[in-house]
Every structure is written in C-alpha cells, then in structure tokens.
C-alpha cells in the first residue's frame, strides 16, 4: 500500500520566481510549505529558456524582487537588460539567500490533485509516487511554461536536429558552419536570430506573422544610474506600482493623443522614445493602445524604421507587420532587422509560401526546397492555460478543470477558480501578469494569497471558493476592458489564437493599478465574491 499522503499547509507547484517567493512568504507566516518542481533546479522560465540571446525585455533594475531591501541593495545587475544566465544566477541567489532549497522537491512533477470535500484539503500526487494532503494548493507554474510544438505533418522526416527555444539543451549548441532554419518570429526568435545569424553558415527564417521590435539599446548597467535607483529603491518601486504595466516610471507615458500633434512633432516624439529603447515607445502617446488610428501612426513609424534598416526593399516589406503594434507582445531586440542584411540570412514568408512538408534535409515551402542541418522551433507557448490543463485537477464534486475551462479559462481575480477551493493560480488568466513586469505581478499575487490565508486562519475558516457569479462577472470585465483596446485586433497568445482549437477568449487583464485596487477592495470587503466556510 502506498504511504499515506504527507500533510502540508501549502503545496506550491513550480520553483520559478513565484514559487520561490511563495515558499519564503509562507514560511514567514509560520506555514508548513513545500515546493515541487519538475526540473532539477530553480528559475522556471529562466531555467528552461536557454536559447542564444535569451534575455529579459524589462530593465533589470525593475525586473527583480522588491520584497527585501537588503536583497535589492546587494544584488548587482551587469546589464541594462539581464541575460538568461544572469537571471538564473539571480534565482539561485534568492533560493540560497533565503535558505529555500530544503523546501523544494526537485525532479518531481505534479500529475494531478483532487479536492477532498470531507477533509477540505487537496490530495496531490506526483510522478514520483509521492502524495501530499495540502490545505492550500498554489499553482506557480508560470503562464509561459508549456512550449507550443506545432503539429507539423512530416516533421519526423527531417534527419537533422530539432530544438525548441523553450526547451533548449543545457550544454552549448554550436551552429558554426551549419545551416539553420528558424520557425517563428516572436520575442524568442527575435532575440535568437541575430546571435544564430552571426554564428551559423546560413540561416533561413520562416515567418508566419511579421513582428514589431524596438531596440533594447542594451549595454553594461550604468553605475551612476544603478546608484541613483538604489538610493531610492522603495520610491522607484512605488512609482512603478502606478504604471499600467507595473514598470516604466523612468519614462512615464505622455498624456497627449497621437492625433493632437503635427506629423513632425509626432515623428520627433516617437524618435525620442526609439532612442531610449524598450516598451516606452508604446507610451509615446496616450491613445496608442485604445485608438486604432493613433496606433497605426506608431505602426508606420516602426515600419519606416524597418525600411530604413533593411537594405533589400522586398525583404523589408515582408518584415513590415500589418497588425496593430502592441497587439501581440512587442519585441525588444538587438539587431533583429539588421540581421536580414547579412548575406547568410534569408527570410521566407509562410503566408506566401506555406510549409508543405518536411524532407530529410529540411522543408518544402511554396514549392521551394530549403535545406538545413538544424531546425529551431521558436513557436512560443500554449500560454496561460497549457500547463494547468495538462494536469488532472479536480475540484468540488470531482469536476475536472478541463471541463470547467472547456469554453475558456474562467477565473475570479485571475487568482482563483470557482469550484476549486483553496487553489490559487499565480500569474494566470485573468491577472494582469502578461502585460506587466511579471515579478511585480508575482509579488502582488503572492502577498494577496498569503494575506488571504492569514485571514482564513485568523477567522477560523477552512476554505475560500469563488462564486460562479463572481467568476462570470470578472471574466466579462476582463473582456470588456480588452474590447476598449486594440488587443482583440490580432491573433495573439493573449487570445489563445496561436494554438489550433484553443477557445478564443482574451485572458490577461489590462491595467495593473486598477487590478491591484480591485483585489484590495475584495479583501477589504471580507473577500467579496467568495464563499468562506
């Protein structure tokens, strides 16, 4: 007979930034908490996404924990936008600094969990055969943790190496002298392509949708800038809390419409932000995200940058996107468009020349044979829902999450799911995480969850469960907010549109400060919209 499940107060799934902070916070609160992690190390996203050029697209001084003043003072980032190895070092530093490793079970993958109504606990099981009985289950698996491996018919025919950016090998991959194909032109590809292009003998990029990319202007972190931030780190974090994405207070959005200035002024204002680099371009005017006409002006600004960068006019036009800028997550790049000026790089437009099949040497697209030694799938993720839906999670009455989410990921506050009591989802659908500096969102979510657990304990309550009405209202709210923006005007992973057959439902909520306020109000009202028992 298998041993009886081990009791824990909080079972946390995933040892990325969310899992690490949840473990730390739970322990501080006197709770017995355990993290289970499928990988053999901490870091989540930064553990798995080791492709060449992988780096954060939010400035390092912002993309870091704020919960511990000594941590943020002691840690030194070497670059304006930290690369993956440095981010992984940071995650490991956090794990060691707060003595978290003994609370993490590595190489252990959650298979599923059932809510036991009688015991009012989650009975969770892992592939190791271990089982736990947990009062609270915190899904800290990350919104971008299930790689999207499209079902390319005949891919097995290809005799060369196939790599996915989100499951990159731990040992160095050397493309020197090789011919490489890359499918995809999202953030991962935009970062990887310039690095691969510089190393490989030949690179063929297969593009389904052209991408907007704004320069990172990355470089060593300026010592004076770092000292300035550190001198007032708390105030800096506070200012970021007031930003729509929880970051970017160094360059707050302008408050005027793109339609209210002359063409020359507009160009100059876009140019100023282009020179600074990063996401700030979308804050050049107040209406770029809400007014398609204003948005189109920003699109054309970037298209003109592409035309000015890429010397072959036909290639430049193929690289010019037609969807609204920002509708798919904006890419932050280092030399992406210029890569197409290299003699060893060619672009294949899959809309004009769809993939017809794979051969031992490569693939056929639009009747043309393309040969390569290695193929990189930079095809993204089954975002926000993929990881949870692979698990066998059953709430009250044995209801499967797959059934509850059949028409889309219902949730309340992006943190809870009706009928799945005491289960918290971090950075999931309905939260603002995808539009924010995700570490800011993670800290917010986990503080909210920890406060909620403390409230239940202080009031002698065993469970918290969202009502179906609160859930329905909340999902409608997320979609109403999205409908006021340009976010419904393209096929993004925010909508689930990148995965064939996935229900089309807008998942993230736009607007971090209002979200934080709403979560606080719900708590202040004794957890309005929930049943507490």
> Helices in 200-251 by DSSP H: which ranges?
223-231, 233-241
Nearer to ligand NA7, 77 or 494 (CB): 494
CA atoms of 102 and 126, how far apart (whole Å): 18
Q: At closest approach, how far in Å is the CB of 356 from ligand NA7?
A: 12
Give me the residues paired with residue 416 across strands. Answer: 412
Nearer to ligand NA7, 41 or 186 (CB): 186
**How deeply is 205 buried, as exposed, middle or buried, from its count of CB atoms within 10 A (0-12, 13-18, 19+)?**
buried
Asked if 378 contacts 432 with a C-beta cutoff of 8 angstroms, the reply is no
Dihedral pair phi/psi, residue 206, rounded to 5°: -100, 110
Nearer to ligand NA7, 258 or 288 (CB): 288
CA atoms of 530 and 523, how far apart (whole Å): 10
Q: How many CB atoms lie within 10 A of CB 69?
A: 11
Backbone dihedral region for residue 427 (phi beyond 0: left; psi -120 to 50: alpha; all else: beta): left
Q: 476 is written with which tokens?
A: 């409608």
Longest dimension (CA), the chain: 77
Q: At closest approach, how far in Å is the CB of 211 from ligand NA7?
A: 6
Q: At closest approach, how far in Å is the CB of 160 from ligand NA7?
A: 18
Pairing of strands 392-394, 110-116: parallel
Instruction: Please give the residue ranges that form the binding site for ligand NA7 (CB under 6 A).
Output: 144, 150, 165, 183-189, 208-209, 329, 350, 378-381, 493, 498
Nearer to ligand NA7, 51 or 122 (CB): 51
Q: At closest approach, how far in Å is the CB of 66 from ligand NA7?
A: 21
Q: At closest approach, how far in Å is the CB of 383 from ligand NA7?
A: 7
Q: At closest approach, how far in Å is the CB of 125 from ligand NA7?
A: 30
CA atoms of 264 and 301, how far apart (whole Å): 12
Nearer to ligand NA7, 100 or 197 (CB): 197
Write out the DSSP string of 358-416: EETTEEEETTEEEE-SEEEE---B-TTTHHHHHSEEE-GGG-BHHHHTTTS---BTTTB
The Cβ-side half-sphere exposure at 145, using a 13 Å CA radius, reads 28
CA angle (143, 144, 149) in 5-degree steps: 135
Q: At closest approach, how far in Å is the CB of 85 from ligand NA7?
A: 17
Give me the residues paired with residue 121 across strands. Answer: 116
Backbone dihedral region for residue 66 (phi beyond 0: left; psi -120 to 50: alpha; all else: beta): alpha
Residues 6+ apart with CB under 8 A from 83: 53, 54, 55
Nearer to ligand NA7, 251 or 433 (CB): 433
The residue number whose beta carbon is nearest to ligand NA7 equals 186
Residues 6+ apart with CB under 8 A from 526: 532
Nearer to ligand NA7, 11 or 144 (CB): 144
Q: At closest approach, how far in Å is the CB of 11 from ligand NA7?
A: 27
Nearer to ligand NA7, 79 or 392 (CB): 79
**How deeply is 102 buried, as exposed, middle or buried, from its count of CB atoms within 10 A (0-12, 13-18, 19+)?**
exposed
Q: At closest approach, how far in Å is the CB of 267 from ligand NA7?
A: 28
Q: At closest approach, how far in Å is the CB of 503 from ligand NA7?
A: 16
3-state secondary structure of 97: helix
Q: At closest approach, how far in Å is the CB of 193 from ligand NA7?
A: 11
Q: At closest approach, how far in Å is the CB of 265 from ligand NA7?
A: 31
Nearer to ligand NA7, 187 or 422 (CB): 187
Nearer to ligand NA7, 39 or 350 (CB): 350
Nearer to ligand NA7, 137 or 377 (CB): 377
CA atoms of 44 and 19, how far apart (whole Å): 9
Nearer to ligand NA7, 153 or 526 (CB): 153
């Amino acid at each position: 007979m298998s041993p009886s499940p081990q009791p824990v107060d909080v079972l946390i799934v995933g040892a990325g930034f969310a899992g690490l902070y949840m473990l730390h916070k739970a322990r501080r609160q006197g709770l017995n908490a355990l993290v289970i992690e499928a990988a053999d190390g901490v870091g989540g996203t930064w553990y798995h996404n080791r492709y060449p050029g992988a780096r954060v697209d939010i400035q390092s001084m912002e993309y870091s924990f704020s919960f511990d003043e000594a941590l943020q003072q002691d840690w030194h980032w070497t670059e304006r936008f930290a690369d993956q190895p440095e981010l992984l070092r940071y995650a490991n530093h956090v794990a060691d600094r707060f003595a978290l490793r003994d609370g993490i079970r590595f190489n252990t993958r959650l298979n599923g969990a059932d809510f036991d109504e009688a015991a009012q606990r989650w009975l969770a099981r892992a592939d190791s055969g271990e089982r736990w009985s947990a009062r609270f289950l915190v899904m800290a698996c990350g919104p971008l943790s299930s790689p999207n491996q499209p079902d390319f018919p005949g891919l097995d025919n290809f005799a060369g190496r196939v790599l996915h950016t989100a499951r990159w090998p731990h040992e160095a991959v050397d493309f020197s002298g090789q011919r490489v194909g890359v499918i995809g032109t999202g953030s991962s590809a935009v970062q990887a392509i310039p690095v691969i292009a510089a190393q490989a003998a030949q690179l063929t990029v297969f593009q389904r949708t052209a991408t907007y990319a704004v320069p990172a202007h990355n470089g060593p972190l300026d010592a004076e800038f770092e000292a300035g931030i550190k001198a007032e780190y708390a105030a800096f974090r506070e200012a970021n809390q007031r930003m729509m994405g929880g970051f970017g207070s160094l360059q707050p959005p302008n408050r005027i419409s793109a339609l209210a200035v002359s063409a020359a002024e507009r160009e100059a204002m876009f140019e100023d932000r282009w020179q600074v680099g990063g996401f700030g371009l979308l804050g050049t005017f107040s209406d770029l995200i809400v007014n398609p006409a204003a948005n189109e002006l920003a699109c054309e600004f970037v298209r003109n940058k592409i035309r000015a960068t890429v010397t072959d006019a036909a290639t430049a036009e193929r690289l010019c996107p037609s969807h609204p800028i920002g509708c798919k997550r904006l890419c932050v790049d280092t030399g992406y468009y210029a890569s197409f000026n290299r003699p060893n790089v060619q672009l294949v437009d899959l809309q004009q020349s769809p993939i017809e099949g794979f051969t031992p040497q490569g693939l056929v697209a639009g009747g043309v044979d393309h040969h390569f030694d290695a193929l990189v799938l930079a095809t993204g993720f089954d975002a926000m829902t993929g990881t949870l839906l692979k698990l066998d999670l059953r709430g009250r009455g044995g209801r499967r999450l797959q059934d509850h989410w059949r028409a889309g990921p219902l949730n309340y506050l992006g943190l809870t799911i009706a009928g799945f009591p005491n289960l918290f989802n971090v950075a999931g659908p309905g939260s603002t995480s995808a539009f924010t500096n995700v570490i800011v969102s993670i800290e917010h979510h986990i503080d909210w969850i920890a406060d909620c657990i403390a409230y239940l304990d202080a009031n002698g309550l065993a469970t918290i469960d969202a009502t179906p009405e609160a859930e329905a209202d909340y999902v409608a709210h997320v979609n109403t907010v999205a409908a006021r923006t340009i976010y419904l005007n393209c096929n993004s992973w925010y909508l689930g549109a990148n995965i064939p057959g996935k229900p089309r439902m807008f998942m993230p909520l736009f607007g971090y400060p209002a979200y934080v306020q709403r979560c606080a109000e719900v708590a202040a009202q004794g957890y309005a919209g929930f049943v507490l028992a």
